[in-house]
Amino acid sequence: MQEPLFGSVDEVVERLAGAGYLASTAVATTVFLADRLGKPLLVEGPAGVGKTELARALASATGSELVRLQCYEGIDESRALYEWNHAKQLLRITAARDEQWQETRDHVFSEEFLLPRPLLTAIRNPDPTVLLIDETDKSDVEMEGLLLEVLGDFQVTVPELGTITAARRPFVLLTSNATRELSEALKRRCLFLHLDFPTPELERDIVTLQVPGLDATLADSLVCVVGALRELDLRKAPSIAESIDWARTLLALGADRLDEQVVQSSLGVILKYQADHRRAAAELRLDRLLDPASP
Amino acid sequence: MTTEALPGRLVDFVGALRERGIPVGPGETVDAAAAVDVLGLADRDQLREALASTVLRRSGQRGVFDAVFDLYFPVAVGSVESAGEPPSDVFELRDALVAALAEGDEARLRALAASGVEAFGRYGNAGNGGSGGAGDTGASGSGSRLSGWSAYQTLGEVRPEALLARVLAAMRTARPEDGPLGEALAERQARSRIAGFRERVQAEARRRTAELRGRERIASHAVAPQTELVTFTSATSEQFTAMRRTVQPLSRKLATRLSSRRKKARRGQIDLRRTLRRSLGTGGVPMRPALRNRRPGRPELVVLCDMSGSVAGFAQFTLLLTQALSDQFSKIRSFAFVGLTDEITHLVSAGRDEPEGLAARILSQARVTRWGMSSDYGESLGSFVEGWEDVLGPRTSVLVLGDGRTNFGDPNLEALRRIADRARHVYWLNPEAERFWGTGDSAALRYAELVPMHECRNIRQLSQLVTELLPT
């Protein structure tokens, strides 16, 4: 058993905060458990709640190297695990024409011609590593089978080289937007964390941390408006990143308080659909500005 | 709780989750125990998160989990030591509640919920006086013992909804310079706090009752089921709101499932001409076979739904779902009926931006009945065939939504047979349990002889059916 990264849940909160990530109890507890139990952590949630950011903060808080595997439709072993460098192998064979076949064969299938992809890189790394497998739901079902093998035993078999076992277990973080149900087998091997939009208090802290110049009362009302917008059943709810963008915009505009005029003119920063815009304006009573006759 | 009792408690807890439809295997239970072992029991919030991360696998399960967790790992035993003096009567409690709601003071709200249940929630022991004004003296008779704590009774006495105006006034005095935006925000905030207070009272009443009557019993009927498993015909309006929220994510999930199936179906037949053409590059040896591009068939969909009474909620949900899936079809046309059939395609597509009042708009703007609100299947199917037979064709799939209860009228099997003859597929989705088909005025079994009929009682069944039925 290797040395755990964290001593207690509070330490997780503290060190993540040091890396610029404010973690809720849920996040801190699951991260702590994932580290202690040596299990991968599956983070699921809507876009823009800081799933990828968590991995980045973890890496910088623990001084680990971040290895990222971005999943997409059609990703396969040669993109995720390893590949032989064919061009270089051919070059080597043509360069040594008069060599014996036996010798050449042994040579071209050696470390030198292996191109490690993220999974193999993470497993072979002797230093602490955070392996981020991003948007797992975008990959095909076959890819999940491969992940099962790698995440189950933390070892990879390359037929020509033999089995490579992890020198040091990486901290594995999988993210998913839940566009597809991941297989039960994969979920069973992971700890599950559903990451939702943060509580108003936490979001205010995040915004003030990221945009230091922002006035405290302005931050309060900003978080309040964003929270109200998220409850509205919009096509695209504003994410944390968008609240931060909005805070920056307000700062640039020099607004000192949030009134109808300011919200109306800068709403485009957080809402990206026309229908959402109309809806928000109606619900937040911004339209009264345009029509002063109404009560 | 002693440490020895913990494994037993954990197993009971997992058992309760399974009964509520959350599949938890023994492997997960072992993980949960390992997590507890690492964390200890000192911090209840951490314990909750630790158990959630080890036993849950899906995000929709959290509500059920939280309720069951509160029963099996309660905050405290007995009445809660509330902050400050407990209020003596309902007026004092409501005054305190207004102040707490206006400030959004979480701890105070929790204490008030607890003392509210303590004061007004007990039922079954009128003899045990001194507690506020729980007005059920008649029901329980001569000094019978305490049989439970009722959230319903507490909320009936406190009536937090009626406090909205007072809370708003209090918030306005606290921040007088707010414009209409500030007021709109304050109103939302007040509403959500009141809803939060209701939930606290319910959780508190469950906890107290569980102490009294055994937690297995309470867990089996007092914890609301997951949204996915709520039956359409008995859902409350809050549950429908929760269901509507799932339409978008569900449709996305279904669309990926459908399109991945389509992609798989594309593998197969070899395109000989292109393979030969390609083989010229490798000296006539067909190294890389070219596959024929199959044009993905985008079927036309016709949804024909009963909008009467209890079936309306189901129909409305399904309409919204098919609308959200519209890019999977070349064309969707929707029809509604009660006593007559009318086309509602334009109403449904307008309903995308504003799904709340869809049913009401359909009933007021479309001509779905001659008189009354009881469904007439015979007349409705007949008028559909008469007026819109041309929408059916060899590429059309028809979904009929309804319980097939004809109010003892003529089921008009002939009309359904004509629909089935003209369309490519007809499926009937029935929100009633299969064992009730054909009972009373239900003609479900007679319709089922003509077209395949499927039981479709909750979102889980519906989404399963949608992926199975829709042709690729």
Classify residue A31 as left (phi > 0), alpha (psi -120 to 50) or beta: alpha
CA closest to B27 among chain A residues: A188
CA distance linking residue B278 with residue B74, whole number of Å? 70
Query: Looking at residue A215, what DSSP letter applies?
Result: -
- Between helix A9-18 and helix A51-62 the angle, nearest 10°, is 100
Among 1.10.20.60, 3.90.1150.10, 3.30.56.10, 3.40.50.410, name the CATH number for the domain at B239-268+297-469. 3.40.50.410
Residue A30: its pLDDT value, please? 93
* A 133-172 near B (Cβ less than 8 A): 140
CA closest to B250 among chain A residues: A179
- Regarding whether A189 and A55 lie in a shared domain, the answer is yes
Residue A294 lies in a domain: no
Answer whether B335's CB lies under 8 Å from B366's CB: no
Strands in B175-284 per DSSP E: none
Classify residue B56 as left (phi > 0), alpha (psi -120 to 50) or beta: beta
Q: Would an 8 Å CB–CB cutoff place B49 in contact with chain A? A: yes
pLDDT digits (tens, 9 = 90+) for B101-131: 888 777 788 888 888 888 787 776 544 444 4
- Regarding whether A126 and A174 lie in a shared domain, the answer is yes
Residue A292 lies in a domain: no
Residue B471: its pLDDT value, please? 58
Strands in B223-381 per DSSP E: 300-306, 331-337, 341-343
Residue A131: its pLDDT value, please? 93
In chain A, what residues touch B39 (CB-CB under 8 Å)? 9, 29, 32-33
Q: How confident is the model at residue B77 (pLDDT cuts 50, 70, 90)?
A: low
- Regarding whether A43 and A136 lie in a shared domain, the answer is yes
- Regarding whether A189 and A75 lie in a shared domain, the answer is yes
Which of B29, B51, B56, B181 to substitute to test the interface with A, most A CBs within 10 Å?
B181
- Regarding whether A71 and A35 lie in a shared domain, the answer is yes
Range of the domain at A180: 9-81+117-194
Distance from CA of A146 to the nearest CA of B (A): 19
Answer whether B308's CB lies under 8 Å from B373's CB: yes
CA distance linking residue B108 with residue B101, whole number of Å? 9
Count structural domains, chain A. 3
- Regarding whether A189 and A93 lie in a shared domain, the answer is no
For the segment B374-395, the average pLDDT, to the nearest whole number, is 87
Residue B296: its pLDDT value, please? 59
Answer whether B87's CB lies under 8 Å from B248's CB: no
- Regarding whether A132 and A104 lie in a shared domain, the answer is no
Q: Would an 8 Å CB–CB cutoff place A44 in contact with chain B? A: yes
- Regarding whether A153 and A125 lie in a shared domain, the answer is yes
- Sequential pLDDT tens for chain A (295 residues): 577 888 888 999 999 999 989 988 899 999 999 999 888 999 998 888 888 899 999 999 999 999 999 998 888 888 888 888 888 888 888 887 777 878 887 888 888 888 999 999 998 888 999 999 999 988 887 888 888 888 888 888 888 888 888 888 899 999 998 777 788 888 888 999 998 888 888 898 988 888 888 888 888 888 888 888 888 777 788 888 889 999 999 888 887 777 778 888 888 888 888 888 888 888 777 655 444 433 3
| DSSP output for B35-96 | HHHHH-SS-HHHHHHHHHHHH--SGGGHHHHHHHHHHHS-S-SSS---SSPPPSSHHHHHHH
pLDDT digits (tens, 9 = 90+) for B295-326: 656 678 888 888 887 677 788 888 888 877 77
Tokens representing B172 are 């306005």
Q: Answer yes or no: do A29 and B53 touch at CB < 8 A.
A: yes
- Regarding whether A242 and A207 lie in a shared domain, the answer is yes
- Regarding whether A219 and A93 lie in a shared domain, the answer is no
CATH number at residue A36: 3.40.50.300
In chain B, what residues touch A44 (CB-CB under 8 Å)? 59
Residue B439: its pLDDT value, please? 85
Other beta carbons within 10 angstroms of residue B19's beta carbon come to 13
CA B352 to chain centre: 18
